[in-house]
Amino acid sequence: MFEFRIDATCGPARAGSLTLPHGEVRTPGFMPVGTQGTVRTLSPFDLEAVGAQMILGNAYHLHVRPGEAVVEALGGLHRFMAWPKPVLTDSGGFQVFSLEGFRRVGDDGVEFQSHVDGARRKLTPERVVEIQWALGADVAMAFDHVVPGTATHPEAEDALERTTRWLERSKRRHIELERDTAARQTLWPIAQGATFPDLRRHALEWIRDLGDWSGIAVGGLAVGEERRVRHETLEALLPSLPATLPRYLMGVGFPEDLLEAIARGMDLFDCVAPTRNGRNGAAFTSKGPLNLRNARWRTDAAPLDESCDCETCRTYSRGYLRHLFVTEELLGLRLLSLHNVRFLIRLTTEARARIAAGSFDAWRREWTARYNAREDQ
């Protein structure tokens, strides 16, 4: 358990295999986001059908509702949501960023005012580890302080130093929980530092000094910075990343962003984009993004994407899918979410095959040019 093998490389791009207690994950891989124990509009059977290998839950949201004690009493997160394959839980660090108006950050931890009932809740690095241990995910993330992509160097440095102190406390508590129990969960650190290469390198040095890890995450990107700056940050970070560990780039999930990140050595990804866009009538297709609310699709009998093998594309026309959104039928939300998740899983699967064949770079450039031509102007 908790082993990573690199199967092939093509420049910095890697194809790997990650072994976890609930199964193997082949990389590059995309994880659908099930923030509250469910990927919105999609059942576990849907996720199995589209080839999902691993999904993500959120410790903060599951702590608020229904509470980790409830999940643990019902057999842990896998049984609770009827998902037999690997699960990764985010620590709630992103909520430090996204719930800025409802929290107060201190060196001891973060005090949140619940977005549900207004109650005050205190999360410390130790408490976050305990919550994720009770949830029973295969991979738990250490608590971190996320700042906007536009943060200044002093702001990013302050958050990074706090994240590093929290990481040491998170690791200590996780080791304590493991002592009397067979290995069932691994803890991954998160490298912060905003868009400043010197801070990112410091983060990796501190992480390395804290001991051995089974994986590492890069956080604090896709939070307001320009894409060009994100790519430059990843390029600067690459030489310092441990070569033998799986690399998880947090919160990135638009198609072209996935390919650019894979080209810069990243292995795992998550994002709400495929399901959120799907619920709003926006689809990823091999010829570019498509807005189904556009009247031009009203009598279009073609499938959403002729190259896609998902249930949506095998069964329904663009005209029918548009009808579902115009009439606000719930089926439309499911069908587009299903397609978008399948699209990203197919994309990362194809990237893996191209890496193994040694043709990833040429394929990526051709694919991106076609996608950016945009069918739906």
90 is catalytic: yes
> Which residue is catalytic, options 46, 90, 257, 305?
90
DSSP classification of residue 142:
P
Q: Write down the residue that tokens 């160097």 correspond to.
A: 153
C-alpha distances in angstroms, 40 versus 44, 46, 98, 335? 11, 11, 19, 11
Omega prior to 66 cis, within 30 of 0: yes
For residues 81 and 49, the answer to whether their CB atoms sit within 8 Å is no
Choose among 99, 108, 145: nearest CA to 126: 108
Sheet containing 216-218: give its strands across: 29-32, 268-271, 247-249, 216-218, 190-191
270 is catalytic: yes
Tell me the residue ranges of DSSP E strands in the chain: 3-10, 13-20, 23-27, 29-32, 55-58, 87-90, 103-105, 110-113, 120-123, 139-141, 186-188, 190-191, 216-218, 247-249, 268-271, 282-283, 290-291
> Which residue is catalytic, options 46, 144, 267, 270?
270
Catalytic residues: 90, 270
